[in-house]
Structures are given as structure tokens and as C-alpha cells.
Structure 1
Amino acid sequence: MKLKTKIQLLLMFSFTLLALMGVLGGYFLDKVSRNSIKMMQENYNTVRYTREMSLALNEVVSILSLRDSTANSRRIELRRACDHFLLYLDLQKIVSKEIGELNLVETLRTDFEQFRDIIETMDRKEGEVPVEVLMRSVDMQNLIRQVYQLNEQAIKRKTDDAFRTGNRVTIVVLVIGFLLFVLAVTSMFYFPDYIADPINRLTLSIQEIARRNYSLRLDVRSDDEFGQLSRAFNEMAEKLEDYENLNISQLLAEKRRIETIISQMREAIIGLDKKNTILFANRTALRLLNLEEDQIVGRSAAAVARENRVMEELVKEVVAGEVGSNRSSSSLALQRRNKTYYFEKDILKVVADRPSSSQQLGG
């Protein structure tokens, strides 16, 4: 999986959790709010309707107990009170949704119809209310009270349900928030290392390559961009190592060829590097200096010159830094076995492709 895909999935998961927390919180908050408002409205309606019905019943009993009213006015007042009771009874029937509530309302309607029939057919004596009317009024008041209590229980039950729903929503939101917190903390400690460690390993490896350590390889731990970069680096290091080995082999072969050519030349040849360290000397030069190869190769030309007069004559311009051009020639006279030998000394500067250089003395 690519690093870009991993980052996208991580961000998508985080945003999904945030969106889920927001949606769940908003949905259940709206649901609880709507249910609470609806419950308050139903409670208010039930309280209002049952109160009005109770007042209407009390008004009927009060009208029947009046002494100073005419029969006609009493009849009108009774009809008005009964109509008022039936109006709110019908309204209560509309809002009756609890189990058993509708049966109570229908029973209340039946009892009221019988109650009204008794009132209309009874012998009215001024100021007297029959016991049967009072008993039926008390029974209907009990039914009204049962309707109210039933709604009161429903309100308590719905309140408990809303409380439990709120607790569940709180738990869900807390769990999602905890997951987001764990994800954030894990990402804070893991993700920087996941990005920085491969970069640090690659930086150290590049520094080793710069030191010509082409045998170094990166550990491929994934198939993402870092894994592809590690494989590309390993391929590059492998090719550089192959090229270095091939180049060294070619250089060694070329060195052996040049050494063979120089050793077979009749002229005395001594090679120095830019620090005036003796790199090689052919057989003619060794015979001229009367030294062995291991006595001069790898040593400073100035040190050998202090021990050997011939060497001193050969390298005095080089040691003194008086060689100003790429090629310098001069005559050289040496005393050997009571004889004077004359030589032509050539100093040749050899500049390589690289910044380093070597000098060659020819005699």
C-alpha cells in the first residue's frame, strides 16, 4: 500500500469518526428534544382536558343543588355543562395513545351518558341532589383521575427512556472521542517516526555512498514509496559497486601494463604524487640510485634525497617547488667510480582527470 493511500485512509477514518460523532450527537439530541417537547405538550393537554371535565362534573352537581334558580335556567346551565364535558372528553379521546387509556375514555363516555339520562329523567326537588347522581359523579371523577395517572405514568416512562437514550448517546460519543484521542496520540508518536526514520536511513546511506562505501544496502520493509525508494537506492548502490569493481580491475590492469612498460624502458623514471611521495621507480632508476625498490617507494622524495646525493640532484627543483611549467629539462652530471656521467633530466607534470595529480621525473 502506498504512503499516500495510508495517509488518505488515516484522514478518512478520522473524519468519519468525527462526522459519526457529530451526526449521532445531533440526531439523538434532536430526537430527545422533540420527544421532550411532544411529551410536555401531551402532558399539558391531558392536565387541561381532565381538569375541564372535572370542573364540568362539579358544575353539574352545583347546578342541581341550586335553590333559587328556575327550572328553565337550570336546564340550560345543565346542557351547557354537559356539552362542555363532552367537548373535552372528545379532545381527550384524540390524544389518548397509551395502552388502556382509550378504554377508560370510552367507559367515561358511557358513564356520562347514563349520568345525563338520570339527570334528565329524575324528579327535581329544589336544592336536593340524589345520592345516585353523587355516586356516579364520584365514579366519573375516579375515571378522570385514572386517565390523568395513566398519562402521568407514561410521562415518567418516556422521561426514563429519554434519560437512557441520553446515557447511550453519551457513552457512544465518549467511545468515539476516546478512539479519536487514541488515534491522535498514536499518530503523534508513530507517524513522525514512520516518515522520519526512512529519510534518516536514506540520508546516512547516501553519506556512506559519498564515502565510496558501495556495499551498503537499505532494508526494504514496505511496498510504499519508501520501499520503492529503498529498492531504487539498492539498485543504484549495486550498479555503483559493480562499476567500482570493474573500474578498479581496469585501473589495476592499466597500472600493471604501465609498470611493465616503464620497467622495460632504458631511461631512468621516477614517479611522484602531488605530495612528492615516491610512487614508483623503474629498474634503470634503481640502478642509478643504487637502491632497492622497497627503500624508496612510498617514502617522501625529500627524505630519500637527504640520504642519497643522486636523488638530491634529481628532485631538488621539485622539492623546492621551482617547477613552473608542465615540462622542465636540464643537464645533470654525476660522478660514479671516478668517472663523470652526463644525463638529460626531464621533469614532466602529469595532470589526471581528477583534481589530484602526479609528477614524473625522467633522466
Structure 2
Amino acid sequence: MFSSIRLRLSLSHLTVIVLAMGLSAFLLLSFLEDYFLDAAEDSLEAQARITAQALIPGAIAVEFQPVDEDWNPAYNTVQQQQVSNIAISTENLPSLPIDTSLSETDLAYLTDASLQLSTQLETRIRILDAQGIVLIDSQQEEQGSDLATDSIVSEALLGKTSSRTETSGEDTMHLALPAIDDGQIIGIVYLSQSLGDVTSVLHDLRSRMVLSAGIALLVSAIVALFLSRAISNPVRRLTTAASAVAHGNFDQQVPVRSKDELGQLSRTFNDMTSRLQAARQMQTDFVADVSHESRTPLTSIKGMVETLRDGAVDDPDVRDRFLSTIETETDRLIRLVNDLLLLSQADSEALNLHRDSVDLSELVQTAIYQFSHKAAEKELDLQTEINPNTPTVWIDSDRIEQVLINLLDNAIKYSRPNGTVTITVTPGKNQSVLVQVRDEGIGIPTEDLSHIGQRFYRTDKARSRAEGGAGLGLAIAKAFIEAHGGQLWIESKEGQGTTVSFTLPSA
């Protein structure tokens, strides 16, 4: 149903907004309703005190005190002023005893006085005696009725001011206040006031809030659509680009227009496609290089075999020379296949390492001895600098010996005659041993330095191929070192020489 991320984002934003607005409106309306009801109750209680002072003899001792603003902020200045004005207008009303002994004349007078107050207060006034009997009713409907069982009258008969709100029909607030003289309840003032004004105000507030919420919701929907589009557009571009990559098109790049998580995702995607494209190019180059490296010896072998088959086999000199060349080219192919197998095992982390605690100085001396004759042919001086405090290393000695042989072979191969090749072994950092093979040869051009160690990469392709190299020696050395948990790096200056360094974990 909600298949579009843009739609889901918009709906999620709107859901949060609607919930927040609904909860805020509910809390605000609840607060305002309590506020106005408290104000109405405070005003009604003040009116009841004025009525008691005006109509009940002895209750004049119950001094009228306006409700404290600090105690209830709902009772505001306007209401206090209104009640004070009514209090002044009732100061000269005479008080008559509140009991059944009232004459008809006195009763009529009190009824007229209550009607006057009721008109001024817009409140129904009932005066009850100490037994809860209605003596005076400004609406003249319940005179003589017994209201002692009324809940708020019962509270008033116990000396407590009490109120309640009725919501059936027209909302009305009722309040019963005891009139006390010398600690005795001498009567009860029972007031009833319509809450129509409060209801009207609350209804108006609800209407305004609904209208405001509708406008806010519309604006929020528009903003949510823009925000969701800002999020969904990059996702859509990433989806399209990822689909293209899945179909083999690796040259995909998406624009990076932010620094947030989506921007980081876009940058990561671009980096991934660049690496995939580079890996595919490397794979293509690898296949081409393997084909090229194997084609040369195979072509040579095929040509010599055909020549021998055509009759050259009868010539002993030609036969022996051709067979020797075939053997050399076959060995070259075997080395190439073995090297590729080693690299494949390294890539799949399938190299079998037979580790042991080994003294590197012995491996170095063995490698030096193997190349002593080759170095002598170029009049090179092979030197070693081994720190006596160098710890033993935890390695596969056969693999590391092959690393030393590959590095020494390159150092001698690219050194000038009468130069020096030095192997240095010293303690390294973080419980490791540092080995360096340094020559004074032709060096490596700066533009080629970052490619050294890549498979089949050679700075001097013609010379390397002529000397039998396939460009895999450093790649194998690096794979062996990294399989041991070490690192290999190269430093070189063209025309001054090259230093190949690697680290191995100490035992």
C-alpha cells in the first residue's frame, strides 16, 4: 500500500505532527476548562459571601474577603471589581432572622432583596435555614423544599463550602456556603449559576483551534512533502545507480549534495563503484597479462617443436639447443602457474603457514649465500646489518625466505655494477621486527611508485620480460607478509636506489 518511501516519510511526519497537535490541543483545552471553572467557582463563592452578609443576620460577622490571587490566578481583577461593586450596593439592606418565624411581610421583603441580588449577579439565589429547608428562592420554585439530602447542602450543614457542576441539559454550577455566627450554622446560601458563557468561550476556542490545526496541518503536509522529496530523491538516484551496477555498469556516480547520512551513503557508493570499476579493470588487465605472459613461451615452444618435427631433430646441435630452450620456457610457465596459484591462495586466505620461532639472521644469511654468485657477476657488495637485540620472529620460514629471495633478486637485477645491496634487521615497533632491503640501483619513477606491488606491473616491461620476470615477485612478497600480519612498503628515488621494508611479528 505504501510502496513509495516518499509517501511513507510524508505520512510518518504528518502522523507525528497530528499526534503532537492533538495532544497539545487536548492539554490546552483541559487547562482552559479548569481555569474557567475555577474562576466561576471563585466568583460564585464571593457572591455567596456577599449574599450571606446582605440577607442573613449574624452572618455580618463573616467578613467578606476576596479570594487570594496568588492562591488561584483564575480569580482575576475584573471579577473582584464586579463582586466589590455588588457588595457596596448591598451594604444598606437590613438583615432579618432566617427561620420559619418570618412574617409574610419579612419573607416578601427578603424575596425581593434576593431577587434584586439575583438580577445583579445573574445567579439563582436560595436561602436555607439551619435544617436545609428552602426559605427564599429567587425563582420562587422550591420555597419550603427540604434540600438537606443534597450533596453540597449536606457538606454545608457540616460547615464546609461545597460545589458541583451539572452537565445534563444546560451546564450549571451549584455552590452551598454556610452562614456561621458564634460557631453555629444559622443558614445556608445556595447559589446556582449558568456556565453558558464558559461553554461558549470553550466552544469558540475549540473552533479556533480546529481551524488553526487545519491550517497548520496543511502547511505541515506541504513542508513534509518537500522534506520527504529531499530525502527520497537521493535514495531514488542511489537505487537507479545500484540497479545499473547490478547489471554490470560500474561507471555509476551519484551527486553528493549534503554532509548528512545520505551524503555519506552517496560518497560510500561512489567509492564502491570506483573500486568495482578498478577491480574489473584489474581483472581485465590480469587476464590480458596472463595471456601475454603465457603466449610468449608457448609460441616459442610450438615453433621449436614444429621445427624439430620438420627435420631439425636430426641435427644434434639444433636439437639440443631447442630442447634446452623448451625446458627453459616450460620452467618459466611452471613458475608463472605456481605464482598465480600462490596469489589465488592468498586472496582466498587459504595460505597454509607453518609457523615457528625463527632467528631471522639465519634466513638472511641463507638468502645472501644463494645470491652471492649472481652478485659477484655484477661486482655487487652484499652486506648485512643485524641488530643483536633483535628478537626471534613467529613465521613460516619457507615463505619469508621466498620473500627475501624475491627482494634480493630485484635489488641485484636493478642495481648498477660495483654497487651495494644491504639487508638490515632491527627491532620494530609494537613487538615486531623491521627488515629492509636497500640497493643503490636505478630507482623507481615517482609516477610508478604507487603501482609497485600490483600484479604483472613492471616499470621497465621490456627489460623485465627479457630477464624472465612476470611482475609477480613483489605481489607475492606483499601477500606473504600480510598473511603473517605484517606490512610491506617501498621507498625510492629515481637514480639513487630503492628500499623495500617489511615488518614481522616477534615470537
TM-score with structure 1 setting the length: 0.40
Q: Larger C-alpha radius of gyration, 1 or 2?
A: 1
Structure with greater strand percent:
2
| Higher-RCO chain (CA-CA 8 Å, sequence separation at least 6) | 1
Structure with greater helix percent:
1
TM-score with structure 2 setting the length: 0.31
